[in-house]
Amino acid sequence: MALTLDPYKFLKGNGRRRGPKLTLCETPNLRLDQYKGIMEGMSHSVVTMTKERDVRPHASFWHTSRCLLDRGEEQEKASYHQFMASLVFTAFTFEAYLNWLGTQIFPHWNYLERLSPKEKLELIADHLKVSIDNGKRPWQTIKRLFGFRNDVAHGKPEAIATETTEPNDERLDGKLGELARTDWELYCSLENAERAREDVEEILKALHAAAVTASYLKDRLGPFQRGLQMHSAVLRSGGS
């Protein structure tokens, strides 16, 4: 059974639960026996917490992509792996946003989730009257980004061979020691990671703005806004 007197309303501060702090000077209308009774009740009580959160994975993926890119720029050693991971999470961001936006536009989006990212993009863009031009940026980047994403997600062994003509100088030994790389490995560069983020951001902002204009969204803060969380705490007597 919940206590009839909620001691938290006597607590000092802005509502943050930093631990019970109750003094007589803050509660001048309380008698000493009331004060002691409240504190004793709190020492044998529990708090029931409830949380409700609007989870938007694309916002988290976008932040992860940025963190990985920043780390790759800051530390050259192993930066290749940071750029690879950043590119993967940029691709994740793009598809996760399409899934989120699709649920805002189409009542039965769950039946459409098996579409490829390309098909989802075309469906949503056509519905919002956003023109796609795959022959130039930012749209042409998406095809290359998801080709890379698929190569990484469905990695398969392969044998590659390369042949180049190099000058016979002091750098030859170093070049011989360099690995022959696949297309997806060559894609893992700072330039490509930055370009992917720039173009994905441009496309998602265009889709988001069109969805706001068409009254599918009220959120004018942009496509990367994280969902809100509501929470509450109820003080209850021990064992209730």
Structure token pair of residue 216:
């599918």
Q: Determine the average pLDDT of the residues in 174-194.
A: 90
Same domain, 130 and 205: yes
Q: Determine the average pLDDT of the residues in 84-90.
A: 98
> For residue 153, is pLDDT > 90?
yes
Same domain, 106 and 117: yes
Q: Would you say residue 144 lies in a domain?
A: yes
Q: How confident is the model at residue 39 (pLDDT cuts 50, 70, 90)?
A: low
pLDDT in tens, 97-147: 999 999 999 999 999 999 999 999 999 999 999 999 999 999 999 999 999
Same domain, 22 and 100: no
Same domain, 139 and 113: yes
Same domain, 46 and 141: no
Q: Determine the average pLDDT of the residues in 60-80.
A: 95
Same domain, 92 and 192: yes
Same domain, 41 and 129: no
Q: Would you say residue 218 lies in a domain?
A: no
Same domain, 90 and 180: yes
Q: How confident is the model at residue 181 (pLDDT cuts 50, 70, 90)?
A: confident
Q: What is 23-78 written as a DSSP string?
A: -GGG-TT--HHHHHHHHHHHHTEEEEEEEEE---HHHHHHHHHHHHHHHHHH--TT
Q: Would you say residue 114 lies in a domain?
A: yes
Structure token pair of residue 188:
């893992």
* Structural domain containing residue 146: 57-156+169-213
Same domain, 147 and 233: no
Q: Determine the average pLDDT of the residues in 29-39.
A: 68
Global pTM value: 0.76
Q: How confident is the model at residue 238 (pLDDT cuts 50, 70, 90)?
A: low
**Domains in the chain: how many in total?**
2
Structure token pair of residue 42:
């709190």
Q: Would you say residue 138 lies in a domain?
A: yes
